[in-house]
């Protein structure tokens, strides 16, 4: 399996996918003729607009994507894809549309057979066993919380340590601690903005200059950098 799981699409003061585009280029290697883009996380703008925005970046690095919404048979489009790209937005909306179109199993099968997968934000969320560590509001109700299960741990994209002045609500760490209290055998990776995880078979590496924060019930959270070994996150038995 080859995965590139990106925390966010845009850093402050940068253009769309600017910090990630060279990594995407290197990850895809040669040009993919049938790179399928899944824009289902878009809610307040059209799938055509999303496809155009992503293509403006991919064309710049010598690649091209085609939105899955352009195909009469989306399942067949995935089966014939030589790369799968999933954009960010609302994870609940993304998951519901993938379920409604019966694409979860098809995508999982293709990726496990070796088709490269790129996802940012919501697209990184759904590579996990469930969507339970998303930051998004449940604006729609999917049939179930289970997602692609391409990695055996959960990701919290856009992870932040900030607790604004005069804000009395829960921090992101508090919310993750709630999750691990009732999901005690699951690691959660707080993936800070400007970073990404790359999986090549059984190797998992962090890319970016910021550390990831690793949570597990009963353990003190760990701060790991791109110099550290993340392989332990894949050591748990993965569902078949």
Give the integer Cα–Cα distance in Å for 112 and 100.
Answer: 22
Is residue 86 one of the residues assigned to a domain? Answer: yes
Written as six digits, the tokens of 235 are 């050591």
User: Which residue out of 7, 9, 69, 136 is catalytically annotated?
Assistant: 136
Is residue 117 one of the residues assigned to a domain? Answer: yes
Is residue 170 one of the residues assigned to a domain? Answer: no
pLDDT digits (tens, 9 = 90+) for 180-233: 999 999 999 999 999 999 999 999 999 999 999 999 999 999 999 999 999 999
Q: What is the number of other CB atoms lying within 10 angstroms of the CB of residue 182?
A: 9
User: Which residue out of 121, 229, 235, 239 is catalytically annotated?
Assistant: 121
Total domain count, the chain: 1
Specify the 3-state DSSP secondary structure of 81. coil
Q: What does the pLDDT read at residue 163?
A: 72
- Which domain range does residue 71 map to? 2-152+193-207
Q: What does the pLDDT read at residue 30?
A: 84
Helices (H), 80-211: 91-100, 104-112, 122-125, 172-182
CATH of the domain at 132: 3.40.50.880
Is residue 178 one of the residues assigned to a domain? Answer: no
Q: Strand 65-67 vs strand 83-86: parallel, antiparallel, or unpaired?
A: unpaired
Q: Strand 2-6 vs strand 117-120: parallel, antiparallel, or unpaired?
A: parallel
Is residue 173 one of the residues assigned to a domain? Answer: no
Give the integer Cα–Cα distance in Å for 126 and 145.
Answer: 10
Is residue 181 one of the residues assigned to a domain? Answer: no
Q: What does the pLDDT read at residue 236?
A: 61
Q: What does the pLDDT read at residue 74?
A: 98
User: Which residue out of 64, 82, 158, 217 is catalytically annotated?
Assistant: 158
Is residue 226 one of the residues assigned to a domain? Answer: no
Has 228 been annotated as catalytic?
no
Are the C-beta atoms of 64 and 56 separated by less than 8 Å?
no
Q: What is the number of other CB atoms lying within 10 angstroms of the CB of residue 222?
A: 13
One digit per residue, the tens of pLDDT, for the chain of length 240 reads 999 999 999 999 999 999 999 999 999 988 877 999 999 999 999 999 999 999 999 999 999 999 999 999 999 999 999 999 999 999 999 999 999 999 999 999 999 999 999 999 999 999 999 999 999 999 999 999 999 999 999 999 999 987 767 777 789 999 999 999 999 999 999 999 999 999 999 999 999 999 999 999 999 999 999 999 999 999 864 443
Q: What pTM did the predictor assign? A: 0.95
Rounded to the nearest 10 degrees, what angle do helices 104-112 and 91-100 cross at? 90
Has 136 been annotated as catalytic?
yes
Is residue 96 one of the residues assigned to a domain? Answer: yes
Q: What does the pLDDT read at residue 2?
A: 97
């Amino acid at each position: 399996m080859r995965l590139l799981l990106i925390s966010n699409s845009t850093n402050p003061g940068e253009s769309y996918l600017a910090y990630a585009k060279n990594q995407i280029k290197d990850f895809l290697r040669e040009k993919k003729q049938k790179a399928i883009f899944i824009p289902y996380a878009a809610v307040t703008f059209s799938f055509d607009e999303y496809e155009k925005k992503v293509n403006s970046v991919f064309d710049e690095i010598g690649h091209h994507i085609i939105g899955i919404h352009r195909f009469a048979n989306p399942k067949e489009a995935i089966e014939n894809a030589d790369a799968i790209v999933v954009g960010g937005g609302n994870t609940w909306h993304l998951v519901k549309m993938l379920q409604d179109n019966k694409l979860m199993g098809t995508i999982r099968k293709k990726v496990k057979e070796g088709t490269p997968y790129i996802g940012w934000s919501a697209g990184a969320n759904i590579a996990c066993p469930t969507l339970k560590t998303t930051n998004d509001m449940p604006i729609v109700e999917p049939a179930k919380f289970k997602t692609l299960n391409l990695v055996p741990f959960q990701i919290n994209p856009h992870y932040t340590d900030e607790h604004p002045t005069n804000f009395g609500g829960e921090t992101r760490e508090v919310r993750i601690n709630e999750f691990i209290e009732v999901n005690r055998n699951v690691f959660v990776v707080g993936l800070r903005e400007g970073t990404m995880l790359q999986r090549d078979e059984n190797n998992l590496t962090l890319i970016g200059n910021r550390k990831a924060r690793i949570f597990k019930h009963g353990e003190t959270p760990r701060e790991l950098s791109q110099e550290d070994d993340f392989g332990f996150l894949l050591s748990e038995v993965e569902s078949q």
